[in-house]
Amino acid sequence: MRDPQRLPKEEIQATAKSLREDILRMIHKAGSGHPGGSLSAIDMILTLHSGEMRYDPKDPRWDLRDRFVLSKGHGVPALYAVLAEKGFFPKEQLMTLRELGSPIQGHPANALLDCIEASTGSLGQGLSVAQGIALAGKVRGQQDGKDEAAWHVYALLGDGELQEGQIWEAAMSAPHLGITNLTAFVDWNKAQIDGTVEEVMSLNPLSQKWESFGWHVQEIDGHDIDAIRRACDRARSNTSAPSVILAHTTKGKGVAYMEKDIVGWHGKAPSDGEFKQAMNELKGGAA
């Protein structure tokens, strides 16, 4: 999709609901995985791949593609679901999640799939990787004689991940280097494996922290397609600083019992009964 066109909001919402089912199917079959943060991130990842980013499923390594780095690598079931939906690989392959020899592993591996930009999962590193890719895009743009970068880079971070020091090293250096073709999303779902983010290590005041490092900051509802799109528009039009979008989300979004126990559903697969209950809910109600 070299000249992306935005899909209708209603189509994205319906697809996101279907992809939530795919996420649960693959994690249930694998018997392990991270459903909570995958379900909280799916609306953002799908919207980015539905008109915000330039890419070509037939040519995953196309030079001028926009890049997406999933820094919170444990949420990769959501990314796999979107990439399969967009035609990067057959949807049947999703059911090989975490199997020995499968390219669909529990964390993204770019040596196994051409459509994965970076191997992630060691939390805190993805923003630095994204910054390097964005800097390369600026250099490429200059080589091509253009005033703008050759590509835009998006990174999705977890809120608990912001407790890692390397995040703030990247946050400090990106504005210093003038990397304005970089947009970071924070999946602010308020929970991590050891408890709520507030209990483990508070991030507040989060907006002011990013602003103090020189970033253009927006705060949105991470499940609102229109809000995500507007934030992307503002981020791309901003030419003075890198952008961060603090997206309030619900861990386990779309499955009532996961939404009620956001810590408990960080990293475990549903049982047969829980899987059936979740699928019935997704098929019968709004995600």
pLDDT tens digits, one per residue of 180-189: 999 999 999 9
Residue 1 has pLDDT above 90, yes or no: no
Pairing of strands 182-188, 243-248: parallel
- Give the residue from 22, 52, 34 showing the smallest Cα distance to 245: 52
Here the tokens at position 13 are 């919402």
pLDDT tens digits, one per residue of 53-108: 999 999 999 999 999 999 999 999 999 999 999 999 999 999 999 999 999 999 99
pLDDT tens digits, one per residue of 21-46: 999 999 999 999 999 999 999 999 99
Residue 3 lies in a domain: no
List of E strands, the chain: 67-70, 153-158, 182-188, 191-192, 195-196, 216-221, 243-248
Dist. CA 275–CA 283, nearest whole Å? 12
Residue 2 lies in a domain: no
Identify the CATH number of the domain in which residue 28 sits.
Answer: 3.40.50.970
Residue 274 lies in a domain: yes
* All residues at 6 or more sequence positions from 120 whose CB lies less than 8 Å from its CB, including other chains: 69, 70, 71, 72, 73, 107, 108, 126, 129
Between helix 9-30 and helix 76-85 the angle, nearest 10°, is: 120
Residue 279 lies in a domain: yes
Domain span including residue 223 = 9-284
Dist. CA 45–CA 38, nearest whole Å? 10
Residue 220 lies in a domain: yes
Dist. CA 54–CA 266, nearest whole Å? 31
Residue 175 lies in a domain: yes
Dist. CA 285–CA 287, nearest whole Å? 6
Query: For the chain, what is the domain count?
Result: 1
Residue 4 lies in a domain: no
Residue 82 lies in a domain: yes
